[in-house]
Amino acid sequence: MARIVMKFGGTSVADLDRIRSVAARAKRAREAGDQVAVVVSAMAGVTNQLAGWCQALSPLHDAREYDAVVATGEQVTAGLLAIALQEMGVESRSWQGWQVPIRTDGQHGKARIEAIEAAELIRRMELGHIPVVTGFQGIGPDHRVTTLGRGGSDTSAVALAAAVRADRCDIYTDVDGVYTTDPRIVAKARKLAKIAYEEMLELASAGAKVLHTRSVALAMKQRVRVQVLSSFEDLPGTLVVDEDEIVEKQLVSGIAYSRDEAKITIRRVPDRPGIAAAIFGPLAAKGVNVDMIVQNLGADGTTDLTFTVGKADLPRAQAALAEVCPGIGCKEISTDDEVAKISVVGVGMRSHAGVANTMFRTLAEKGINIQVISTSEIKVSVLIAAEYTELAVRALHTAYGLDAA
Amino acid sequence: MARIVMKFGGTSVADLDRIRSVAARAKRAREAGDQVAVVVSAMAGVTNQLAGWCQALSPLHDAREYDAVVATGEQVTAGLLAIALQEMGVESRSWQGWQVPIRTDGQHGKARIEAIEAAELIRRMELGHIPVVTGFQGIGPDHRVTTLGRGGSDTSAVALAAAVRADRCDIYTDVDGVYTTDPRIVAKARKLAKIAYEEMLELASAGAKVLHTRSVALAMKQRVRVQVLSSFEDLPGTLVVDEDEIVEKQLVSGIAYSRDEAKITIRRVPDRPGIAAAIFGPLAAKGVNVDMIVQNLGADGTTDLTFTVGKADLPRAQAALAEVCPGIGCKEISTDDEVAKISVVGVGMRSHAGVANTMFRTLAEKGINIQVISTSEIKVSVLIAAEYTELAVRALHTAYGLDAA
């Protein structure tokens, strides 16, 4: 017997038939002897519609009202799922964020969970009931509904799993697990049985879209075992667990790519102390996240600075730099949004040298120029021209021995 | 300066443009010096869609989950209206039933309001803010969302008006007031400037659909002045007020009709004590409301019993009677759902005789047979064949001098 929190995303509860399937799946788990609670998203498309209405009425709308409006999406699904479970003879009730309560801070639209009062949910799970909890939302210190922002429902599920001391948090989605890379690009991509939190975290922030960074970080912090699996099949998915649980460590577990980056190069900046702060300070002030940074010292006492930002942030970054540049005497700014970031990730890197070198050699053999390099303890990322994305990912997948037999 | 609660129904908030119009109207009232709070329904069609989903998942669904699901309709509208008001520079926030709180009893799906804690709303109205409150819902003793059932949002508005001690409760709808009769039937129908609570109550229960009986009864009990007016025009509507406020009392204020009735006749029931209880008891037990009742004594020690029930209740009534009949020895049951109830209503009847007689004579002159008669202090109702409905209403409208010049 295990205690499990199951989370179903928008496509898994997109209509009444799918809601019935979700109910049947939760019921089967309970009948197999598990204690079950379910976290649900809004039906596919609903959150976007509600958010679009808020936006149409006022582009700079009050985040507190936005939260009150969009949080209704999950409330509808939770109630409907409880009804579907009851219809199958299962004791169930829905819990809205404020009812549990799931307490968050007061940052409306991107609130963070602070505490979940789970005693009543645990009591009911122990009785064999299946509580259904709304994802993506909570109640703030102002006694108003808050939403958690992007990746919110996954985060709700992981936080709830921690609060009820669940053995596992199953995230049901429209893919059946975490792959060595995107199967749409590499036909020989393999589904991983297990992956370490830190690898998943690096893959998620490097562009793999299966789980949001935030929920992985929370799972790692709270040591919640997370399983990613398909709501449309009945197969085991991928377990995201502590590194110690993975006996057979791969040198490289996965290859991620992201085309959501843009490169900015500032040439011939005077090379003096404080110049980096003078450039990156104003970018941070405008909420622009800078990812990879490279600085090259030139011969004439100037330096070239290259860095990447999210593609959507490019206009804001350019505006900020246009203000800054005259003051610091930089000569030339160029931008390129036809770039891609390719990352190889694996905890095995910690103990093995040569991972980065394999990457550089493989790309060189295919004639792919590396524009920027950045590394972490378990990741190597390079920026290349976007047109080489698929070629690079396939070549690396083969080079690291990840291809399925 | 007045303190006003404005209530807007589903067609008045059916899309974003109409929500903007509602915001503009509320803002104008505030700028004219009034203190304003707004009560909203769900966008037209939304409640039916949500209720339909619950029904499709489980015909006998849990009323508590139904409430959690359908109450989201008003929550969306309230948040959107608050955003629209803010966009126009008005301080506003939305209040869901549980936030106010609007405390109800625990009858999910048809809860009754028990108390509204309005101090904070009053404080904000006095500051010139416009609070937007969800209609149709509250929070029950079980700390769960309740809905009020049919006519719920009008009832919310009247109860809120009483709680904030408003000078008036304006019910905006898709008609522009209360008419002497249905203008679709009688072109010469006139809009009434004022009508007494009791008249409105009788008209509502006699089939006039402009206000729900329940909200009128509450307004009468709490002495809340209610105005019915159009959200699509800028004209005064009809004031529903205490009889004492109406100086020039009409003999008859209005004529209502209902085609939602069915007639049941039980012939040759043994005429002995307790026979009515034996028949109507089982009907009440099945939740069938009986309206008009007539009993005629026959020559042979038997009696004929005729009564009306709601057309939708007819199958249940027939089933109940089929069980009862053998035991009490009744011979013949016939039903007719091609009937209409025509009612003339007016507080002037209290002091004037002859109102009923005018009705009977007028119908006789048109060759319309009266099947059942029932009267109250300020109402006379008759049951006739449905095909004469329009003819009867027009003739009576003229006979009582109600035709517009």
Given this model, what pLDDT does residue B301 score?
A: 79
Scanning every residue of chain B, which has its alpha carbon at the shortest distance from the alpha carbon of A142?
A: B99
Mean pLDDT of B350-365: 90
State the number of CA atoms in the 13 A half-sphere of A147 facing the CB.
25
Q: How far is B230 from A350, CA to CA, in rounded Å?
A: 73
What pLDDT is attached to residue A9? Answer: 93
The region of weakest confidence among A107-116, A386-395, B127-136, B292-301 is B292-301
- Is B265:B325 a contact under the CB 8 Å cutoff? no
Amino acid at B371: Q
* Tens of pLDDT, residues B28-57: 999 999 999 999 999 999 999 999 999 999
In whole angstroms, give the CA distance from residue B236 to residue B170.
Answer: 10
Please check whether residue B377 is in contact with residue B349, taking contact to mean a CB–CB distance below 8 angstroms: yes
- Report in angstroms the alpha-carbon separations of B251 from A246, B172, B180, B367, B391: 89, 28, 12, 24, 21
Among the residue ranges A118-122, B84-88, B270-274, the one predicted with the least confidence is B270-274
Provide the whole-model pTM.
0.86
Matching residue, tokens 């106010």: B100
B114 at interface of A, judged by CB pairs closer than 8 A: no
Decide if A57 and B94 are in contact by the 8 Å CB cutoff.
Answer: no
Which pLDDT does position A285 carry in this prediction? 87
SS3 call for B294: strand
* Cα–Cα distance list, B229 to B36, B173, B211, B238, B287 (Å): 16, 6, 11, 7, 34
Average pLDDT, chain B: 93
Residue from the list B76, B78, B87 with its beta carbon closest to the beta carbon of A50: B76
**B91/A contact by beta carbon, under 8 A:** no
Contact A28, A93 (CB under 8 A): no
Residue of B nearest to A80 (CA): B54
Identify the residue with better confidence: B373 or B405: B373
Between CA A224 and CA B254 the distance in angstroms is 69
Residue A294 sits at the chain B interface (C-beta within 8 Å): no
What whole-number distance in Å separates Cα of residue B271 and Cα of residue A393?
94
Q: Report the alpha-carbon angle B394-B395-B396, nearest 5.
A: 90
Query: Which 8-state DSSP code applies to residue B27?
Result: H
B53–A86 C-beta distance less than 8 A: no
- Mention every residue, 6+ apart, whose C-beta is less than 8 A from residue A50: A69, A70, A72, A73, B76
Alpha-carbon distance A161 to A165, whole Å? 6
Please say if the pLDDT value at position B78 is more than 90: yes
Low-confidence ranges of chain A (pLDDT < 50): none
Pairing of strands B92-95, A137-139: unpaired
Q: How confident is the model at residue A149, as a pLDDT? A: 85
Q: Is residue B87 within 8 Å of residue A58, measured between CB atoms?
A: yes
Sorted by where each starts, the structural domains of chain B and their CATH numbers stand as 3-174 (3.40.1160.10)
Q: Is the minimum CB–CB distance between B21 and chain A shorter than 8 Å? A: no
B306-334 pLDDT tens trace: 999 999 899 999 989 988 888 888 878 99
Helix axes A46-57, B16-31, angle to 10 degrees: 40
Which positions in chain A touch B143 (Cβ < 8 Å)?
A: 99
pLDDT of A233-276, one tens digit each?
889 999 999 998 887 777 899 999 999 999 999 988 888 888 88
Identify the pLDDT of residue A268.
84
Residues sharing a CB contact under 8 Å with residue A52, sequence separation 6 or more, in sequence order: none
Mutate to test the interface with A, among B15, B20, B47, B65 (most CBs of A within 10 A): B65
Question: Cβ of B367: how many Cβ atoms within 10 Å?
Answer: 8
CA-to-CA distance for A32 and A49, rounded, in angstroms? 38
Instruction: Check residue B271 and give its pLDDT.
Output: 81
Instruction: Find chain B residues with C-beta within 8 A of A130's C-beta.
Output: none
Q: Quick one: average pLDDT of B86-113?
A: 97
The pLDDT assigned to A208 comes to 77
Asked if B80's CB is within 8 angstroms of A57's CB, the reply is yes
Residue of A15, A21, A40, A57 to mutate when probing chain B, most B C-beta within 10 A: A57
> Are A58 and B87 in contact (CB < 8 Å)?
yes
Q: Please answer yes or no on whether A57 and B16 come within 8 Å at the CB atom.
A: yes
Nearest residue of chain A to residue B18 (CA atoms): A57
Q: Is A16 on the interface with B (CB under 8 A)?
A: yes
What's the rounded Cα separation, in Å, for the pair A329 and A303? 12
Residues of B in contact with A42 (CB under 8 A): none
SS3 A227: strand
Task: Give the pairing of strands A379-385 and A339-345.
Answer: antiparallel
- Check residue B353 and give its pLDDT: 80
Name the percent of chain B in helix, strand, coil, to the closest 5: 40, 25, 35
* pLDDT: which is higher, A41 or B286: A41
- Rounded Cα distance between B63 and B109, Å, is 6
H-state helical runs in A8-102: 16-31, 46-57, 63-70, 72-87
Residues of chain A neighbouring B58 (CB-CB closer than 8 A):
83-84, 86-87
pLDDT of residue A123: 98
The more confident residue out of B285 and B39 is B39
Give which of B181, B121, B170, B155 is closest to B342, Cα–Cα: B181
**Does residue B277 surpass a pLDDT of 90?**
no
The distance of A39 to chain B (nearest Cα, Å) reads: 16
Cis peptide before B101 (omega within 30 of 0): yes
Chain A residue with minimal CA distance to B83?
A61
Contacts of B109 in chain A (CB under 8 A): none
Pairing of strands B102-104, B92-95: unpaired
Contact A82, A108 (CB under 8 A): no
3-state secondary structure of A191: strand
Per-residue confidence (pLDDT) for residue A276, from 0 to 100: 83
Give the pLDDT mean for B197-207.
Answer: 88
User: Is A127 within 8 Å of chain B by CB?
Assistant: no
- What does residue A126 show for φ and ψ, rounded to 5 degrees? -65, -25
Q: Which residues of A touch B84 (CB under 8 A)?
A: 57-58
| DSSP three-state, residue A134 | strand
Residue with tokens 């299962």: A90
